[in-house]
Amino acid sequence: MSKAPKPPSGNKVSVKTLQSKKLHGEPITFLTAYDFSTAVALDRSGIDGILVGDSLGMVMLGYENTLPVTMQEMLHHCRAVARGVSRAHLVGDMPFMSYQASVADAVRNAGSLLQKGGMDAVKLEGGRNRVRAVKSIIAAGIPVMGHLGLTPQSVHQLGGWKVQGKSTHAARTLIEDALILEDAGCYAIVLESIPAELAQLIANRLAIPIIGIGAGVGCDGQVLVTHDVLGLFDRFTPSFVKKYADLFSEMERAFQEYISDVKERKFPAAEHSNSMDPQALRDLIREIEMQGLEFEPDDNQPPRFH
């Protein structure tokens, strides 16, 4: 089994660390995680931030989109990730309808992600339409990361998974929304699937870190869905993703090898098995034989008694 997580190899990454990285022009690295082992690996690798995204609905739970994800599901995965992390900054996504219906819901659910989920901050989607929720959550002492551009919880309103902010009007609206979120107190903003030039303009204009996903190299940092990075999600891969591994194929290969090893009795081999003390085994066989049971030894088969 896996070893216990390593002790922290540096100070915990905070909102202030991320803001200082922007100030010093140091790129900020984020990836998603939804489980303990991935969180441990990411933390050890030195990632700045881990997002427990509601993308878990698609890549972990097999939903068509992120809309069915509940607070319970988010909390379950947030807790698993938090157990594996000692250094990285942890952001929990607010799922659909956990902040849209009322400001009271928004504050209560954001609080749960910190109090019960072990997160350091929350992320929610939307601009000017979410200012009241953003301000109230921040007033409760909870850091909020904004999310603009292609906001998956509005997939039906947006008419699909399309690049946003392409026209002058749409781009201007996006810049305004980013400024509104900064003004409302967000400590960072994710920009998803927007033209690189527009993301660069926003990153230059705002003082807070801009984390891009499908938004070009001009952002202050990058985030991707870890399942896409590892090639673990077989359904589709967005064009802005760079695959750093093809673990889905590797997983299939390993499973097939295991199945044939078991069928051919190549697994478990001697090194995967425990043996009895020879004298204890001889005594046992004698006892069994005295009881009238015959023992048929066969080196390649488990012991059989008749």
Q: Which residues have a catalytic role annotated?
A: 192
* C-beta nearest to ligand KIV: residue: 53
Q: Between residues 136 and 222, which has the closer beta carbon with respect to ligand KIV?
A: 222
Contact 199, 4 (CB under 8 A): no
Query: Judged by CB, which is closer to ligand KIV: 216, or 285?
Result: 216
Bridge partner residues of 190 (DSSP): 147, 211
Shortest distance in whole angstroms from residue 56 CB to ligand KIV: 7
In whole angstroms, the minimum distance from the beta carbon of 123 to ligand KIV comes to 7
To ligand KIV, the closest distance from the beta carbon of 195 in angstroms equals 17
Other beta carbons less than 10 A from residue 170's beta carbon = 15
Residue position matching structure tokens 């988010």: 74
List residues near ligand KIV by CB under 6 A.
32, 51, 53-55, 93, 147, 190, 192, 213, 223, 225
Helix axes 196-205, 168-184, angle to 10 degrees: 30
- Minimum distance from CB of 221 to ligand KIV (Å)? 11
Report the nearest approach of ligand KIV to the CB of residue 150 (Å).
Answer: 9
CB of 298 to ligand KIV, least distance (A): 54
Q: Nearer to ligand KIV by C-beta: 190 or 232?
A: 190
Q: 50 - beta bridge partners?
A: 31, 90
Closer of 32 and 38 to ligand KIV (Cβ): 32
Pick 36 or 233: Cβ nearer ligand KIV: 233
Q: From CA 253, how far away is CA 141, in angstroms rounded?
A: 48
Which CB atom, from 191 or from 206, has the smaller least distance to ligand KIV?
A: 191
